[in-house]
Every structure is written in structure tokens, then in C-alpha cells.
Chains A and B, each alone.
Chain A
Amino acid sequence: MSKKIPSLSVITANRLSDGAVVFLDFEGAWNTDFAQANIASSPDEVRALEDRGTYDAQRNIIVEPYLVELRELDGRLVPIRQRERVRIAGPSILAAVPGYVAPPVAEDEDITQEAA
């Protein structure tokens, strides 16, 4: 049985060096900002995202790439699964974590061109 190809998807992974959650953006870079993610809306585009994930995982830029399926909600595209909504937003409880220190907001390092 062939795998169902979702429409309306982005691809996510973790950055190899620090584990940060990243999304492939429309410039072809892995970006920590979901708002910049490249949204595939046809089976061909979804396949292209998957191929890119596999390729960059092989090049040791990112780890564990997978597709996140989206749907429209109140005019915005959001992941269908709560799991992925939490992945994008981060832990929902950080305000209550004793001593939590947010990481400094840094420019995303450009990891796209790192040599394999």
C-alpha cells in the first residue's frame, strides 16, 4: 500500500550541533522560525521537502527530519497535531519553571552550507 502523501506540510528536524528545532524555509535554509517555513501544498512539493530532509540529514546538517501536516484555522496555517504545535511554540510551562533562563536571541547560524 502506498503511503498517503499529506498536502499542506512543512518539514522539520533538529539541528545537529545543539538540537534546536528547525524548519526548512523558503530560501532553502534550516530556520528556527516556523513563520519562515516553506509550505508545500502539492504532493510533488511535499516529496521535494522530504527529499531535501533526507539529503541534509545525510549531509549531517540536521537530524530526524519529518513532515508536519498543517490545516487552516482562523485564517492561519497550524499543525494538525497538538504535538507539533507544542514543538513549534516550545514548552507551554516555561513561565512556571524555577530559574528558567531563555537563550539569547541569536541570528540563526547558517547551517545550510556546512560541508558534509
Chain B
Amino acid sequence: MYRYDEFDREFVRQRVAQFRGQVARRLSGELTEDEFKPLRLMNGVYLQLHAYMLRIAIPYGTLSSRQMRKLAHIARTYDRGYGHFTTRQNLQFNWPALKDIPDILDELADVEMHAIQTSGNCIRNVTADHFAGATAEEVADPRTYAEIIRQWSSLHPEFSFLPRKFKVAVNASDADRAAIKVHDIGLQLKRVASGGLAFDVYVGGGQGRTPLIAKLIKEDLPEEHLLSYLEAVLRIYNLEGRRDNKYKARIKILVHELGAEPFAAQVEAEWERIRNGALKLPQDEIRRIETYFALPVLRSDLPKAKLSAPDRGFERWVIRNTHTHRHAGYAIVTVSLKPIGGVPGDASAEQMDAIADLAERYSHDEVRVTHEQNLILPHVAKADLPAVYKALKAIGLAEANAGLATDIIACPGLDYCALANARSIPISQAISERLAAKQDVIGELKIKISGCINACGHHHVGHIGILGVEKRGEEHYQLLLGGSGAESTALAELTGPGFGPDGIVDAVETVVDTYLRLRRGPEENFLSAYARLGMQPFKEALYVAEAA
């Protein structure tokens, strides 16, 4: 579990006190907005379309029941009864009053949480596979390294004013559930021939207006060199990254413009200088941090699970929303925050409380937030699955749709976001309603929607991606096909001219129906069919029929 050390505790309290003073000075007029804005952003406070927004860090998406209950309490006491889980495994409150935010931050500090480094040109919250520590597929728990990176990057004096924000993701299974190749740095942990642990280091991936897939610049980096190598990468970026143009300031542009090899050579030269210095990780320290994430004591004497039941809904849910656990008697449960026609990623205070109860009772006190805007109960005994399902059903969160067409990622879009061109959420709701009846037939399909080019809704890596644009003051949507954020990362391609808010839902259905018509069988999923067929048949279905 994420562990505050004494340093974190002390520092976070100081920071809240400092921000309390800054808010008071802002409200009294002593600080101007220009002076205050960078201070509020450093504490996760944005000004959005309708109100302030507070973004809270959830390191590598891991929460305890106590922390989840605190989020519920804040939603109820200071906000409007709900919160929004984001594609960066964070949580956002959409309506806090500025005057209340210091109190909210104090409440968060009580449960070892904060909003630091959730904004600004610094190293942001490190993300990781949401099945970490529970899946049988991984070589080791990636959160050990995410935590090491968190400690190193928190308030790193050299990297507090980078050319742009910087995002790191860590994965340790063959299946990439952390979308590492669309991060500034993506780390793939593996076991090497010598038996030790090492990283493949991918640099320069990202979405936004210039989507690029990260390049592999270092293979088999021994774990003890993780921080020295990251420091070398960040140093080259800090020196060479462009500060003259915000749109060209991300490391992906630097790697792209310099070329991966020359960039890697510069990093290598810097790394040679520092690799055996203070950042070399002692084995003891790695193993000590590993214990933070030790697998809870799981029972082997559990009664045999009854996984088939007369309840067809339960059966579907077990098939769709549970994943193999490393322990045979347990399962990893995906709590879908995508009820049919619902708002992706939103949860009410009551739902948060109920999930905290479930985590405490059935999942060794742990909840995870996924970048797909769902929650995970990582360690549920199979015998407890019926009880968990029943409890989730009671709070409207038992939709059996993980990975299906209604498990849609949608950014807040124009309903909340000041930068948006178009709404994302109503489009996702309409698609969800439209495809719900046939989602089981369609099979795995990832639909991702962003309300502007910043791509918080990951549309570039959607099997079907949707991008909201503004056309003469009105909402308009571009459609993209064939992207993937998984291990075979691919960027989606534009189908052609965009669609209005009504047309986009029909267009998605046309794409889905075309796939169903042309696939070789249910075993050929959308992405495989797209790889075989290419864009043409989808284009024809979308535009030729329309023109006829």
C-alpha cells in the first residue's frame, strides 16, 4: 500500500498551512489572480467552465477503504455529492468553493492524501497497472517502482519547472494495462536471463495534438539504475526541451526532432556520469519498499466457490468483470463505473462508501482506480463473489461490461472543462444506450472520447476514437478507428469528415455493424478485423452510403 513516510506527513501539512494563507490572501485581495494562479495550480486547483475543480492524486491508483470514505465525505460535505475518477487514476471534484479548499486539503492530509503535482510542469502522479500485485501475469509488483519514482520526483528541485508536464507509467505484465507507450516515459519491468529484474525504457510517447508512440531507448536497465537513468532522461529533457512553444514542449517532440538514437546517446552520456552516484538504488531499499505492497495473507482453506448460479446476470458479470488472480481461490473484480447510459467515471458519495465497505470486508482493504475510469477490488475470494455482486447491484454498479462497447472512456468535455470544444459525456451516454443490447455479440471494443485535442479521453488509442471539435460555434465530432493503448500500441486513423452530435452516434453504430458483418467470427475482435480489413470498408459504409 502507498505509504506516507515522516517526510511526506510533515511536508503535506506544511503545504496545506501555506496554501491556507495563500487562499486567505487571495480572498482578501492581497494576491492578484496572476500571482495566485500558479500557487493554486501547484495545489491541484483549476478554474473550469462552471467552477473551481480540485484534482486529487491517487498514487498508482491505490486507495484504502479509509481513503475512499474520506473522498465520499468530501463529496458530501464540500462538493455536490459525487466525484469523477479520471484517466490518470486520479479523482476530481467539480464544484469546490475556493474558500473551502484548505479545509478539504486538511481532511485529505488526515488520510495521507494530497493534490500536489496534479498540475503544472512537473512530474505528475505516477500510474501503474491496476491489477498490480494481484495478477499472476506480472514479474513483480510495478507499484514498488512507481513508489520509488514518487518519492524521488516529489518536489524534485531540479524538475519542478520542466518545459511541460511529465507523465510516467509502469507495467510489469506482458499485457500492458498502463498504456506505457503513450507516456513521456513508459517502463516495462521484466525478468532478465540472469534472474534479476530490469526495465525496458520507452520515451517520448503521448497523445494530445501530436500523438506519438514512445521509442524504446534502453533495454534491460537493471532495477538499481532506475532512478539514475530517469534522472539522466529528465536532465536532457530539461536542458533541451523547447520552452518557446507550449505545443512543442513535451519530451515527445524533442525525441521526435532529435531522433531516438541521438536522444538516447545524450541520455547515455549523462547516465554514465551519474549511474554509480547517490541515486543507485540499494537492493535493501528496493526490497524494503516492496514490502509496502506485500500480498495480503490469503486463505487456502476457503469453501469451494460456486461460480455458476441460476442468476444469468451474475454469470455474465463473473465472465466479464473478474480476472484471474495469482491465488487460485481469489479473483480480481472490476467494478464498472459505466452503467448503461451513465456518466463514465462518476461515483456518488454513497457508492464510494459502499465500495469502501466492500473493500474492507472482501478485498483486504484495497481499491484501485483504473485509467479506464473503473474501480478494482483486487483480492476477492471467489466464494465471496456472489455477495460482492449483490452489493454492487444494490448500488447500481454491477454492469457486466468490462472491456465491452459500453465501457467507454470519456473525458469531462464541454460539460465541465474550460478547454473543451464539445461535450464528451452525452455522446458516451447515447452510444452506451445504443450499443447495450448487442455489446455481448460485439465482444471486446474500446471506445474513447475526448472533448478537445488534448486527448484526456485517449481517443488516439481507442479501437474507436471520437474527438470533439468546434465548427462555427457548434459541436462536431471526428471519428477515428484502429487505435490501441495496449501492448501492440497503435494510433487510430481518421475516417474522414466529421459528424454532428446526432450523426456521431449513428456513425459509431455503422462502424460496429460493418465490423459485425465482415468479421470472420466472434473470435476475430474489432481490432484484429480492422487490421485485416483496413479503413476502406468502414469508410464506404460511413460515407458512400451517405452520399448515395
Contact = CB atoms under 8 A, between A and B. Distances in A.
A14 B426 CA distance: 25
A20 B51 contact: yes
Size category of the B interface is 35 or more
B29 A60 contact: yes
Contacts of B473: 80-83
B81 A14 contact: no
Contacts of A86: 49, 414-415, 423
Interface string A80-116: 1111001100111100111111110000000000011
Given A16-B27, A63-B33, A103-B80, A87 B49 contact: yes
B47 A60 contact: no
B426 A19 contact: no
B423 A98 contact: no
Contacts of A17: 27, 97-99
| Highest count of chain B CB atoms <10 Å: which of A57, A64, A83, A98 | A98
B80 A115 contact: no
A48 B455 CA distance: 38
Interface string B308-343: 000000000000000000000000000000000111
Given A16-B26, A16-B98, A93-B343, A100 B80 contact: yes
Contacts of B429: 93, 96
Interface stretch (B122-130, B227-235, B346-354): B346-354
A103 B79 CA distance: 9
Nearest to A18: B97
B50 interface: yes
B110 interface: no
Interface of B: 26-29, 32-33, 47-52, 75, 80-82, 95-99, 341-343, 346-351, 396, 414-416, 420-423, 425-426, 429, 470, 473-475
Given A19-B48, A96-B342, A98-B396, 16 more contacts: A14-B47, A17-B27, A18-B98, A19-B97, A80-B473, A82-B414, A82-B422, A82-B474, A82-B475, A92-B423, A93-B415, A98-B348, A98-B351, A99-B75, A101-B80, A115-B29
Interface of A: 14, 16-21, 57-60, 63-64, 80-83, 86-87, 90-93, 96-103, 115-116
3 interchain residue pairs of minimum CB distance: A99-B348, A18-B97, A101-B81
